[in-house]
A and B are shown apart, each in its own frame.
Chain A
Amino acid sequence: MARVVVEVMPKPEILDPQGKAVTGALARMGFAGLTVRQGKRFEIEVEGELDEARLAQVHEAAEKLLANTVIEAFEVRSDEASTAPVGGSPADPASVAQGQVSTQPDVPTSEPAATDAAAVPADNQPATEAPNAEAAGQS
């Protein structure tokens, strides 16, 4: 059984109240300098062979239901841990500089509005769904 991962993130220009709440909580706990945006991860077990057509099908499902492209961007990739690579290209942002752990818990995070855009990894803006984002907002 192949596995496909779909990750959905709020677009950078869209307010993310959940991420802001988590960011604020982290700051109060002493984790300074961590700005969070919260998204969703779907792990999808795919029956049959995971070829390009099947991946395209998952992409369509993500675009129709898993993400609302008016407010969210999404990324579809095969999960190499369980399947042979089929064109998945995760640029894992795990190497992002870690936030320093401050012992001064009352240092406020900078203004969220100013940091929101900078905090969003570029790989959440795939070109894959851009052409349809515009149409999706129309009636």
Chain B
Amino acid sequence: MSAPAATPDLAQTAPGARIGVVTFPGSLDDTDALRAVRLCGAEPVPLWHASQSLDGVDAVILPGGFSYGDYLRCGAIARFSPLMAELITAAGQGLPVLGICNGFQILCEAHLLPGALIRNDVRTFVCKEQRLRVESTDTVWTHDFLPAEEISIVLKNGEGGYVADADTIERLEGEDQVVFRYLGPNPNGSVNDIAGITNDRGNVVGLMPHPEHNVEPLTAPSTDGRRFFTSVIGFLARTR
């Protein structure tokens, strides 16, 4: 597995780090996520939602898309996939987990992250380049960013409005569990412009924007997405 020579983060590459990407029926961005993992220097491992095993991976990504056609609620049915039972246990033991868009929705449905995602207040599907501010670098997926750094990650969703009760929002804000905030006009009605959050341990992160689409200059307005993957690879290199 050769990583691109231009990557400045190669010193932090964890040789043999294996990052799984779960495919559900209706997943859309699993292939891009696998590709991003490879481009950033780890071994991508495809995982199937109906499997009972995480295959010994070092980290897991729940990709974007429309699992189970978004029937019932986004992520509601995928949350009960056989693999999710394993994932919930492993996440509780510290396994790094990143949920992107539909993956974020699944993490909320699974109660690995608090709150929920509802239909955009603008009532339309949003697909755009989105400026974000990094609010917390104290997670395994974001420590390669600078505190308060402004980055650009593409956003594409119909149900990306983050909501939670007032106590939960207060706790998230107070405990530095808000990881990303939208800059500029709020694209979907999320409370406090919240674009991404983490659990109290910092190993589970969910966000609506799509870092796996921001890894190559040819197809993305920025390559800021790379640092999600280099962050976790660096974390694995230090801890394995």
Contacts and interface: CB of A to CB of B under 8 A. Distances in A.
Interface residues of B, number: 27
Given A70-B164, A137-B164, A139-B199, A17 B123 contact: yes
Interface string A72-85: 00000000000000
A10 B121 CA distance: 14
A35 B104 CA distance: 31
Contacts of A21: 123
Contacts, number: 57
Contact of B116 (A13, A17, A71): A71
B121 A139 contact: no
Contacts of A20: 123
Interface string B101-128: 0000000110111111011110100000
Interface string B184-218: 00000100000000011000100000000000000
Interface residues of A, number: 18
Nearest to A13: B165
Contacts of A139: 111-114, 199-200, 204
Among B108, B113, B116, find the residue whose CB has the most chain A CB atoms closer than 10 A: B116
A18 B76 CA distance: 19
Given A68-B76, A70-B115, A17 B120 contact: yes
Given A17-B123, A138-B114, 20 more contacts: A14-B118, A15-B118, A15-B161, A17-B118, A17-B119, A17-B120, A20-B123, A21-B123, A65-B72, A66-B72, A68-B76, A68-B109, A70-B115, A71-B116, A137-B114, A137-B115, A138-B168, A139-B111, A139-B112, A139-B113
Interface of A: 10, 13-15, 17-18, 20-21, 65-66, 68, 70-71, 134, 136-139
In the A-B complex, the 4 residue pairs with the smallest Cβ-Cβ separation, listed nearest first, are A17-B119, A70-B116, A71-B116, A137-B114
